[in-house]
Amino acid sequence: MVAWVRLAVPAAFVASMGSPAHAIQYLTVEQSRKLSFPSATDFVPIDAQAWKVASDGKTVGRYIVDHVIGKHLYIDYAVTLDAGGHIQRVDILQYREAYGGEVRDRSWLNQFVGKNSASTLRVGADIRNISGATLSCHHLTEGIKRIVTRYGKDGR
Amino acid sequence: MLGRRVESCVAAPRAHVCVCSTRKSVLAGAMSCAIAAATGFTPSAFAQSAEKKAQPKSAPTEITSQDLLRNIACLEQRLRVLEAQKAAGTTSRQSPPQNGGEQDPCTEKEPKPWITTTTAEHLSLKVDAAAPIGKDVATPPPPPPVEVISFGAYGEIKFGRLQNPDAGGQWQTGFDAARVVLSPTYAITKNIIFNAELEFEHGGIAVDSDDKLAGSIDVEQLFIDFKIHERFNWRAPGIDLIPIGYINEHHEPNQFYSVNRPELYLGLIPSTWRAPATRVYGLLGNGLNYAFQVSQSVEDFGDSFDKRTDANIVAPGPYVGGFSIDSALGLSRTPVGDFRQLNDTLAYAGRLDYQPPWLPGFAGSVSGYYSPNTTPRGAHADSGDALGKSSLTMLDAEFRYRVPERGLELRGEYVWVAFGNPANLRANNDGDDTNNIGKTMYGYSGEIAYHFPLGTILESEWEAVPFYRYTFENFQASGFAGADLNAPTGQGQMQFHTAGIAIMPSPKLVLKLTYQKAINNDPTGANADYVLGGVGFSF
């Protein structure tokens, strides 16, 4: 046991240095915005959770931050819409649950890319379920569906 | 049940400002706006009054912070004019004083919308201030609501007809309130999170015998997670599940389609396998997660507390071992309370979970468990001879694959267990020649299921999942050693054909119907077939 601690703790520390992410705060809003709109010049608040994004005076999309409950605790996430109201990117900002963090997987989140308010967004049909993260999958999908319905219509 | 529903902080509709047609209302509106913008407070009565007087039904117009600043400056200028007029005793309209070369904010080359208060939506103006051109607005997103302790729950109810092997295979009708589990969770800080599971099984327990309750109430999980880094987190010592296989840690009834848990988890993996333990876990790479756990070892003791002394050793005389050909490892879980463990040994378990990005819908894991010694203090043969050490090694590999955009789902699993020294196992030294254990045990299963959408019923999307699972288990593979004579009857070699349907009105609820045919090599048969219905929930 002591030997294991001697080996594992430094190894984990070194491994940790390779990534800026923290255990539950995987991305800040600022980091997420930069990933979504690297060339944006303006983030104009629409309301308390949504921003209209402009680049050199031209609207390029919307950026929305929201949270849903996973199984027990809140999941903070961000949705990026392009100017036409299509989902451009989804990021998990904070995930607090003991289990189910697989929803942070980029290949799962990328399933939402290109969807819009007319998309069905149903787990098991066009969105894969992740075994062990069933409730997180469903709740995130429902939240994203609400966001794209609210902010994605007519590209408003 | 705080925090159990899906919540979204989608906020109120975007505020609009409207173009007004009269200067009077402009002044009132601009003043109101200025106050609202400066203080975050909107005098709604005043605002509504102004709106009633002069609110046109014009189309909503977006306003920028430049518009707002211009209007405030203009308002300030006009107030100065009014004050000057009042001081001079005149009411004639004069041009506002000019300050050198400073531009008059009220004389825009391009017409800008005037601000007026309209409705309560105006409150959002305080966050609707536009960003300066070329700059980001550092308005933080709304934080989640304050975390309080929340309770999840899952449970299973079973009913139907089943063969009773102790009654010679007689079919009997019965019911079992198998379990209801409450799972409190509390975020002590955003990085320190409490979790527990409080389980009531088989209807619970009661003091009075005429209540006819012989279930249990126990703490199935109890731990605090320290979320340090996505690659390295620590679960403080507590009651934790052994990270082996998939179902042991994900045993809610909506995680499997049969009424009973998959057969590999009914003994070979003694689900729900929990122990005093601590672990580290995290992300290793893209889709690859790890867990490493140190726990109190399983023990080769499966009898009641009456068979252990206050000195925490096995009492003299016959006792039931923790490993057997009937229940595999099912009786070997160590106690989690009152320092009553019979073994000083620490066991080590680890698991790697992988969801390959290049194969969407696939998830799998490999896991292992090793205890250097499972022999309890005071372990003895029926002859009275002391039993020495014996290690235990378990390896598991499993996968789950849901074909993307299709209903097909496949699962498979293999479990292998090795005993270091079978000659020291209680089952091989208890005077029963038919329940002996070999050097190894193993089992495997394959499952196919198909998800059929049933459409929207009672405002939710229903799904039917027919499935079939084949399971093979061998609890006495080879290498017997011990004081007993070795005369196995073949009951340790088993096959299970399990088929049924799971109907899921929601991912949180499942209605099940399962038929199972159990076969073993015992001449009297397994006598363990069943037709069971079930209701499971998890939320």
Residue B54: give the domain boundaries.
23-127
Q: Does the distance separating the beta carbons of B360 and A102 come in below 8 Å?
A: no
H or E segment and range at residue B36? helix B23-39
pLDDT digits (tens, 9 = 90+) for A10-49: 554 444 444 444 557 788 888 999 998 998 888 988 888 8
For residue B262, tell me if it sits in a domain. Answer: yes
Structure tokens at A64: 């929305």
For residue B487, tell me if it sits in a domain. Answer: yes
User: SS3 of B512, please?
Assistant: strand
Instruction: Locate the chain B residue with the closest alpha carbon to A52.
Output: B130
Residue B314 exposed, middle or buried by CB count within 10 Å (0-12, 13-18, 19+): buried
Q: How confident is the model at residue A51 (pLDDT cuts 50, 70, 90)?
A: very high
Residues in A closer than 8 angstroms to B539, CB to CB, are 135
Structure tokens at B88: 């001079």
For residue A18, tell me if it sits in a domain. Answer: no
Q: How far is the C-alpha of B506 from the C-alpha of A142, rounded, in Å? A: 13
For residue B3, tell me if it sits in a domain. Answer: no
CB atoms within 10 A of CB A143: 23
For residue A72, tell me if it sits in a domain. Answer: yes
For residue A60, tell me if it sits in a domain. Answer: yes
Give the one of B136, B231, B250 whose C-beta lies nearest to A12's C-beta.
B231
CB atoms within 10 A of CB B80: 12
Q: How far is the C-alpha of B293 from the C-alpha of B193, rounded, in Å? A: 18
Rounded to 10 deg, the angle between the B65-88 and B23-39 helix axes is 120
* 3-state SS track over B403-467: CCCCCEEEEEEEEEEEECCHHHCHHHHCCCCCCCCCCEEEEEEEEEEECEEEEEECCEEEEEEEE
β-bridge pairing B214-229 and B408-419: unpaired
Q: How far is the C-alpha of B331 from the C-alpha of B57, rounded, in Å? A: 77
Q: Does the distance separating the beta carbons of A68 and B6 come in below 8 Å?
A: yes
In this structure, the answer to whether residues B97 and B197 fall within a common structural domain is: no
For residue A4, tell me if it sits in a domain. Answer: no
Q: How many domains does chain B have?
A: 2
Residue A30: give the domain boundaries.
23-155
* B204 phi-psi bin (left φ>0, alpha ψ -120 to 50, beta other): left
Give which of A68, A80, A107, A129 to mutate to test B binding, by max B Cβ within 10 Å.
Answer: A107
For residue B507, tell me if it sits in a domain. Answer: yes
Q: What interface predicted TM-score (ipTM) does this complex get? A: 0.73
Find out whether B371 and B244 touch, Cβ atoms under 8 Å: no
pLDDT value of position B129: 39
Instruction: Locate the chain A residue with the closest alpha carbon to B130.
Output: A44
Find out whether B332 and B317 touch, Cβ atoms under 8 Å: no
For residue A146, tell me if it sits in a domain. Answer: yes
Q: Does the distance separating the beta carbons of A99 and B250 come in below 8 Å?
A: yes
Q: Give Rg (Cα) of chain B.
A: 35
In this structure, the answer to whether residues B174 and B116 fall within a common structural domain is: no
CB atoms within 10 A of CB B379: 27
For residue A108, tell me if it sits in a domain. Answer: yes
Q: How far is the C-alpha of B477 from the C-alpha of B490, rounded, in Å? A: 11
Is the CB of A155 inside 8 Å of chain B's CB atoms? no
In this structure, the answer to whether residues B92 and B170 fall within a common structural domain is: no
pLDDT value of position B405: 81
In this structure, the answer to whether residues B99 and B154 fall within a common structural domain is: no
B193 Cβ partners below 8 Å, 6+ apart? A73, A96, A98, B185, B186, B187, B224, B225, B227
Question: pTM (2 decimals)?
Answer: 0.74
Q: Which of residues 91-130 of A touch B (CB under 8 A)?
A: 94, 96, 98-99, 101-102, 105-108, 111, 122-126, 128-130
CA A124 vs. chain centroid, Å, equals: 19
DSSP state of B478: S
Give me the half-sphere count of Cα atoms (radius 13 Å) on the Cβ side of residue B35.
13
In this structure, the answer to whether residues B315 and B244 fall within a common structural domain is: yes
Looking up tokens 């980091």 gives A31
End-to-end CA distance of chain A: 59
Give the one of A42, A67, A126 whose C-beta lies nearest to B9's C-beta.
A67
Looking at chain A, which runs of residues are DSSP E strands? 42-45, 50-55, 58-69, 74-82, 87-95
Give the type of residue at B344. Answer: D
Is the CB of A13 inside 8 Å of chain B's CB atoms? yes
Give the type of residue at B465. Answer: V
For residue B101, tell me if it sits in a domain. Answer: yes
H or E segment and range at residue B277? strand B274-285
Give which of B2, B6, B371 to mutate to test A binding, by max A Cβ within 10 Å.
Answer: B6
Q: Does the distance separating the beta carbons of B463 and A41 come in below 8 Å?
A: no
Q: Does the distance separating the beta carbons of B361 and A42 come in below 8 Å?
A: no
Examine the pLDDT at A66 and tell me if it is beyond 60.
Answer: yes
In this structure, the answer to whether residues B83 and B199 fall within a common structural domain is: no
- pLDDT per position in chain B (539 positions), as tens? 333 333 343 433 333 333 333 344 444 444 443 434 433 333 333 334 334 344 444 444 455 556 666 666 667 767 777 777 776 665 444 444 444 444 455 554 444 444 433 333 333 333 333 444 344 444 555 566 656 888 999 999 999 999 999 898 999 999 999 999 999 999 898 889 999 999 999 999 888 888 888 899 999 999 999 999 889 999 999 999 999 999 999 999 999 999 999 999 999 999 999 999 999 999 898 889 999 999 999 999 999 989 999 999 999 999 999 999 989 999 999 999 999 999 999 999 999 999 898 898 899 999 999 999 999 999 999 999 999 999 999 999 999 999 988 899 999 999 999 999 999 999 999 999 888 999 999 999 999 999 999 999 998 889 999 999 999 999 988 888 888 988 888 888 999 999 999 999 999 999 999 999 999 988 888 889 999 999 999 99
In this structure, the answer to whether residues B196 and B112 fall within a common structural domain is: no
Q: How many domains does chain A have?
A: 1
With b for 16 or more beta-carbon neighbours within 10 A and e for fewer, the B27-55 pattern comes to bbbbbbbbbbbeeeebbbeebbebbeebb
Structure tokens at B169: 């295979």
Q: Does the distance separating the beta carbons of B185 and A73 come in below 8 Å?
A: yes
In this structure, the answer to whether residues B198 and B75 fall within a common structural domain is: no
Q: How far is the C-alpha of B251 from the C-alpha of B349, rounded, in Å? A: 18
Last residue of a domain, one of B127, B159, B194: B127
For residue B248, tell me if it sits in a domain. Answer: yes
DSSP state of B314: B
In this structure, the answer to whether residues B123 and B225 fall within a common structural domain is: no
**Sign for the pseudo-dihedral over CA of B306, B307, B313, B316:** positive
Find out whether B264 and B300 touch, Cβ atoms under 8 Å: no
Examine the pLDDT at A57 and tell me if it is beyond 90.
Answer: no
Residues in A closer than 8 angstroms to B450, CB to CB, are none
For residue A36, tell me if it sits in a domain. Answer: yes
pLDDT digits (tens, 9 = 90+) for A103-146: 888 889 999 999 999 998 888 888 888 888 888 999 999 999 99
For residue B6, tell me if it sits in a domain. Answer: no
In this structure, the answer to whether residues B507 and B419 fall within a common structural domain is: yes
DSSP state of A109: H
CB atoms within 10 A of CB A47: 20
Structure tokens at B248: 């042991």
In this structure, the answer to whether residues B86 and B210 fall within a common structural domain is: no
In this structure, the answer to whether residues B158 and B115 fall within a common structural domain is: no
With b for 16 or more beta-carbon neighbours within 10 A and e for fewer, the A52-79 pattern comes to bbbeeeeebbbbbbbbbbbbbbbbbbbb
Is the CB of A6 inside 8 Å of chain B's CB atoms? no
Give which of B252, B355, B400 to mutate to test A binding, by max A Cβ within 10 Å.
Answer: B355
For residue B121, tell me if it sits in a domain. Answer: yes
Last residue of a domain, one of B93, B127, B161: B127
H or E segment and range at residue B29? helix B23-39
Q: Does the distance separating the beta carbons of A76 and B195 come in below 8 Å?
A: no
Q: Which residues pair with B317 in a beta bridge?
A: none
For residue A76, tell me if it sits in a domain. Answer: yes
The domain that contains B235 carries what CATH number? 2.40.160.10
Residues in B closer than 8 angstroms to A106, CB to CB, are 286, 357
